[in-house]
Every structure is written in C-alpha cells, then in structure tokens.
A and B are shown apart, each in its own frame.
Chain A
Amino acid sequence: MRTDEDIDAALATRLRTTLSTVAATVTAHDDQPAAPVAQEQPMPTRTRSRPRLAVLGAAGVATLAVAAFGYAKIGPEYVSQLPPPNVMAAGEESGIDFWLVPSFHQDSCDPDRNMPGVELVSAASNTVGGEWHTGGFAYGEADDSRAGAGCVTWDEQPWLADPTLVALGSTRLDGDDGPWGGHAAVHPSVTTLVITTPGEPAETIDTHPRPDAPDGPRYAAWGLPEGATEVRIELQNAAGETISIERLEYQSDRIVRTQPMS
C-alpha cells in the first residue's frame, strides 16, 4: 500500500498545508443555522387501502411496475421501524442504506400468505410513520396473466432444474434519479455473485436464502457505482465454479438484459 514515503514530500506538505489552511477559513458563525428537523407529521389518515409495492419481474425487467396488493398482513401499513426486522442482507450506496428482507406484504393471489421472495427496502424511500415503499422480487417462472387483478405468481420448480436461471433487476434507491441497486434471485446452488462494472475491480457478494427456506432459492442486492452503463454478474457455486454469466446494459430510458454469456 502506497504511503507518504512514496509520495513527493514537498507535494505532500503543500497539500496538507493547503487543505488545513482552506479548512480553517470555514469558521462557526453566530448565525449558524439550527439543526434541520423534519416537520412532525400527524399519522396520515387511511386514504389508501393498499401499501405501495413495486413488483420487479424476472429476467431483466428494471422499470418499476406498481401493482396493487392486499393489505399488509404483518405489521402496520406504515413503517414502524428502520432498519426493518429480519434483515437478510444490508448494503449502502452513495450514502443510502438498503436492506433485503423476506417479503412481508400480503400475497394478493392468496390472502392467507405473504408474497414470495424478498423485498428491497431503501432508507431513502421509507421513513418511520410513512407508507412502505419497497421493491419485491422472487425466483421462478413468472405468470402475470392475472396481473391486472394485482396477482403475479412464480413457479420455482421449472427453474430449480436449471441452476443458470436467474431473476435480475435494478431499482432506484432514491426517487427517479437516485443510484441504482441491483438484485438477483438465484438457484440454491449459487452462493456467490461477482459483480463487475467497466473500469472497476470486481466485487464479490454473498447470496442469502430466506430464513424459512434455508435450502431454497437465494437472493442478493448490491449498489451500483454512479454512471455505470453496464454490469457483468457472474454466478458461482460454493466451490467457486462459474455457473453462468449475465450482463445488464443501462440505457437512457431502460435497462436491457443482454444474452447470457457462456
């Protein structure tokens, strides 16, 4: 690792002097602004009957499709705590924390259970007391023939026969132009993803099963560096062997999954 001894001493001194001198010109003022505080909001009246949950489809669909779902079965319609409970994985991108949790919103196809898969929760899109804004995604062959009624189902069985099948997507972590968060739902044998963007060294992240299905499909989420126009995702098993390689391209108005790479 490079040390100051490897750096021109005169330049290092000049930089330290410059930075400390410039910083010293920033002084506390008597009219220092008060600590910004969020306006206290009364708990909103229940004008919406359904929490907002974006369903992210399989195979590279990246735009958020807002689907209507039933009432949240667990917890209130509103955010009661952040981080949410039962965090499977956590990350941060551009100062925005995000968490991966087992789906906790009701399945509109079957009101007696929760949605399959997981939900991606961004700290920038959710505040305690406000409505939940999350992105859900699941593993398996999607059937959206009843999507108009808010019902999308996923069949895991066909996919479990082929470890190369993966549900990929990306979500804005903060509004319409915030940083991207990538996510994947993968075969139980895929324990690691190697994420590479042009000009950046590869990043290795673990996949995680839902706690109630430790041998089932696995899930992962990651932050994408700003300006990323494409990402390479290598799926690996526990032995470090490559199962498949996927590639996403970020175009001006959409994200496209290119052909899987052999």
Chain B
Amino acid sequence: MSSSVTPIQSIERVYADHRLALLRLATLLTGSRDHGEDVVQSVFASAHPRWYGITQQLPYLRRAVINASADVHRRLARDRAVPEPATVTSIPEVDETWAVLVRLPARQRAVIVLHFYEDLPLVDIALVLRRPAATIRSDLHRALRTLKKELS
C-alpha cells in the first residue's frame, strides 16, 4: 500500500484507489470479511466530514482501520461472541494457521498482521499503534509463542 497521498485527492478518489487494500487489512485484523466491510465503511464515513482537515489521509485511514478493527474485537468479546473463522481457502495449512490467528488477542493479531502482511518494522508498528516499542515486541513475542504452540 502506497504511503503517499496528495492532500488534494478527494475522498471518492482515495476510496476508489485504496478501499480494497484497506478492506483486506481490516479483514485480516478482524478475522471476518463482513466485519472488515463494516470497519472500512465506518472509517470513511467518519472521515468524510473532516476530510480536508486530515493532512495525511492514507496513514490516517490505515490507523483508523486498525483502531476500528480493535473496537470490533472488543465488542465481540463483550458480547461473548467469538467469531468462527470460515474455511477461507481450502488449503489446510493456511486455514489452520488462520484459525489460530483469529483467536489471538486483537493487539497481538494487529502486530502480526502489520509485521508479516504489511511488512512494517516493529518501530513503525509502535508509531502506528501509538504504543511503546517494548510493548510491541512483547506482543509479538507472545503471539509467536502461541502460534508455535498451537501449530506444532
């Protein structure tokens, strides 16, 4: 995903150019295509009234998607509804790994997705999530430990 968007681009243009990438990110973070759609729509709807006051629109949208995805997870946990990951690919190893990823705490899953899908270094993940780098390292370590244990 390109990280540079000229400030004068309309929301409609940014939506058309980047919605799919944001949807994929939201889907990975929430574990659900439906929730991902809700997240992306709500992020753009929320951004619309103040669109031209946002100086870096794509980074803003990406950060908003990440945070909105965490809100979905909290809401589901509060409602005691854990999303059942669909068999998304029919590739056993992929589906098995995905099922474990979906069960990770939202923060850990966010770090995994941003590091292994977005290829962000941990220091950049700390900036995006506005959390200390030490916390990010800790989340990554705990997530990998869980993954290794569940997938061994």
Q: Which residues of A contact B (CB under 8 A)?
A: 1-2, 7-8, 11-12, 14-23, 25-28, 32-33, 35-38, 81-83, 92-95, 123-124, 127-129, 200-201, 203, 223, 225-226
Contact = CB atoms under 8 A, between A and B. Distances in A.
B137 A1 contact: yes
Contacts of A36: 41, 44-45, 48
B78 to A, nearest CB: 10
A15 B74 CA distance: 24
Given A35-B12, A201-B132, A127 B49 contact: yes
Nearest to B24: A23
B: contact size bracket: 35 or more
B34 to A, nearest CB: 11
A18 B87 CA distance: 12
Contacts, number: 119
A134 B143 CA distance: 39
B41 A82 contact: no
A26 B113 CA distance: 15
Nearest to B140: A2
A23 B27 contact: yes
Contacts of A201: 132, 134-135
B122 A1 contact: yes
A23 B97 contact: no
Interface string B38-56: 0001011110111001000
Nearest to A15: B116
Interface of B: 11-12, 15-16, 19-20, 23-25, 27-28, 33, 36-37, 41, 43-46, 48-50, 53, 63-64, 66-68, 70-71, 74, 88-89, 91, 93-94, 97-98, 101, 112-113, 116-117, 121-123, 130-135, 137, 140-141, 144, 147-148, 151
Contact of B137 (A2, A17, A123): A2
A11 B115 CA distance: 13
A25 to B, nearest CB: 5
Contact of B19 (A32, A127, A129, A226): A32
Contacts of A8: 144, 148
Contact of B141 (A2, A17, A83): A2
Given A2-B140, A19-B113, A95 B41 contact: no
Contacts of B94: 17-18, 21-22
Contacts of B11: 35, 37
A92 B134 CA distance: 20
A200 B19 CA distance: 33
